[in-house]
Chains A and B, each alone.
Chain A
């Protein structure tokens, strides 16, 4: 059974940093790209970042480019999102999501989410 479990959410002041982690199990982790998708309170879904299975490629939404860094450790089956220079508009539930197949942005499994609140 595929499981994705996020951790690391919390309250942070504007301009601060936070690191989210996602622990994966139930599939061959290194074979799949992983993404982070966020959802602001009461709003829709916004893709944030992707990392390829071998960590060789990363891409970011324009809204977070230069502030967020995605990484993964295939020996520990984890993917992380380092978030710096946080803004109020980054407040959201952050989901890690498994890509169904290489080269596609269809997400077949999602974690339960981690809430990030940026507020003074």
Chain B
């Protein structure tokens, strides 16, 4: 069964450093998302992406964040200068088509900023 994969599973970085979180969505999916979950809190929407551009983003997704689909298979989330409060579990998700609401989530990347 196709699945969304994410690498690395755990990333530790120092405050102020750049990190890139990687996701490989399901191959025929067209819509891509990033979410985060701070420990013990709700899953928060960050950004949605379609046709090589951002469809919608939340207020969390400020200038420090960017997304890219560099090669038609990977979908990346970059945080330019990490802060302590960026420590969270980051989930990538994809869905097949416009009218579909079912998103398939990856296992997540745990980001720890020290």
Partners in one complex: no
Interface residues of chain B, those whose CB is within 8 Å of chain A, are: none
Interface residues of chain A, those whose CB is within 8 Å of chain B, are: none
